Amino acid sequence: MLSLVVSVQSYAPGASVTAPLTASRSAAVRMMSDFAEEIGIPCEGDCEAIYTKLPESVKPGVVTGQALVDLLDYAKETGFAIPAVNCISSSSINACLEAARKNDAPIMVQFSSGGSQFYAGKGLDNTNYRAAIAGAVSGAYHVRAMAEQYGVPVVLHTDHCAKKLLPWMDGMLSASERYFETHGEPLFSSHMIDLSEEPMDENIAICKEYLERMTKMGMLLEMELGITGGEEDGVNNEDVNPEDLYTKPEEVYEVYKEFTKVEGSRFTIAAAFGNVHGVYAPGNVKLDPEILGRSQVYIAEQEGLPQGTKPVSFVFHGGSGSDIKDIKQAIEYGVIKMNIDTDTQWAYWSGIKDFEAKYREYLQTQIGNPDGADKPNKKYYDPREPMRSAEASTSDRLGQCFADLNCVNVCGLNPVQEPANVLGPRRGGLPC
Ligand SMILES: [Zn+2]
């Protein structure tokens, strides 16, 4: 059974950033309340939508600042983790939002540097990571435009940023700083900086610099300790020293001590406990979630916190293909975010594969199929058809992730209604 623990200090208090109630914001609040009624979120006070089960600060749409802290603390207290899914297109984002709505849960949408570049289009020059910056910003605006429509809280995040990728981070932070000037909140909720390949001192020092910059906007930093093995997004850690796959509690405490010195800072730690990116044959990955539990105990002792306190919020990388027992145990030890990439990559692809297998004979020529030599095949090779199959398959697979992470029915939304498609695809969206 999960113990109910009130977390302290993993995010130092104070410095909460709230948006000024400008005219555009109050108009947005009114729009939101109409829409909130439709999807069954009750309204309160200024007619702002509130979820019955989540902290009051958490609203539909992208969650930042204090609302993000409240959401993650609530997850740790009540024993669930939020799936963080690597997205590469509006299609994969929509599949995530759909899955979150169906499972009545918050979700994290994240972009890797490669995924960001892909979002911009691989035909665009990526010198100085300019395409990756533009792609991440574009994806962020898509999430911001659509998350409220699905009625779910979304944490907008980016994945591994190694030292050489820091210009990508700088570009995204500049975009958030500009967004902050107008809207009183950052464009992104949080970012990950992964300097686990660098010496420990350098990892902490550089991350701390970024943490200071991000804290001014109420942003959260995820940092990595130890190395996640395997291969992802072109980074190959298949041959690292096995010892580096396991973090030590003393190292976690060192990060905790340094980061809590930044007033008002919010951070999570992706502490390696044998995690590997990718899916391998059973027996090849040896996870040791006890490392997380021992770290919490060690830090609580060092800081004189009450027994059972979980001072740190952990992130689980390389979770695809993990034993459910390890996942549940990791959540018990303070994991509030689990990254999902490989399993949804497979789900997206298998949706396309199954579609092709089902309609193979309708997909070989523009005209002519088993129903007749003069029958057109347009409605089968329209890219929306295989892509929709991929989205549905991804959304279904995510249902299993939400269940594994105890992240089902956590918002208190009404059941999803059958979508009403006003215009069929064959009219091309144009009224007759
Ligand atoms: Zn990772």
In whole angstroms, what is the distance from residue 226 CA to residue 200 CA? 9
Burial (CB count <10 Å: 0-12, 13-18, 19+), residue 218: buried
Confirm whether 159 is a catalytic residue: yes
State the distance from the centre of ligand 1 to the C-alpha of 392, rounded, in angstroms.
24
Give SS3 for 244. Answer: helix
For 310-331, write each residue's pLDDT tens digit: 999 999 998 877 889 999 999 9
Q: What is the pLDDT of residue 41?
A: 67
State the distance from the centre of ligand 1 to the C-alpha of 271, rounded, in angstroms.
11
Q: What single string gives the DSSP state of each residue in 342-361? A: HHHHHHHHHHHHHHHHHHGG
For 11-30, write each residue's pLDDT tens digit: 343 344 444 444 555 555 55
User: Which residue's structure tokens are 């996640």?
Assistant: 228
- 198 φ/ψ sector (left φ>0, alpha ψ -120 to 50, else beta): beta
State the distance from the centre of ligand 1 to the C-alpha of 12, rounded, in angstroms.
25
Q: What is the pLDDT of residue 286?
A: 85
Which pLDDT band, with edges at 50, 70 and 90, does 106 fall under?
Answer: very high
State the distance from the centre of ligand 1 to the C-alpha of 227, rounded, in angstroms.
9
Indicate the pTM of the whole model: 0.88
In this structure, what token pair is assigned to residue 99?
A: 């899955």
Nearest to 265 by CA among 8, 15, 83: 15
Of the two residues 87 and 280, the one the predictor is more confident about is 87
Share of the chain above pLDDT 70, in %: 86
Share of the chain above pLDDT 90, in %: 74
Which residue of the set 70, 73, 104, 159 is catalytic?
A: 159
Q: What is the pLDDT of residue 242?
A: 74
State the distance from the centre of ligand 1 to the C-alpha of 192, rounded, in angstroms.
9
CA distances (Å), 257 to each of 127, 198, 267, 268, 302, in order? 37, 19, 12, 13, 10
**In this structure, are residues 332 and 29 in contact, taking their beta carbons and an 8 Å threshold?**
no
* Structural domains of the chain in order of their starting residue, each with its CATH number: 25-344 (3.20.20.70)
In this structure, what token pair is assigned to residue 167?
A: 């210009």
Is the pLDDT at 3 greater than 60, yes or no?
no
In whole angstroms, what is the distance from residue 291 CA to residue 309 CA? 15
Between strands 372-376 and 367-369, the pairing is antiparallel
State the distance from the centre of ligand 1 to the C-alpha of 160, rounded, in angstroms.
6
Q: What is the pLDDT of residue 10?
A: 40
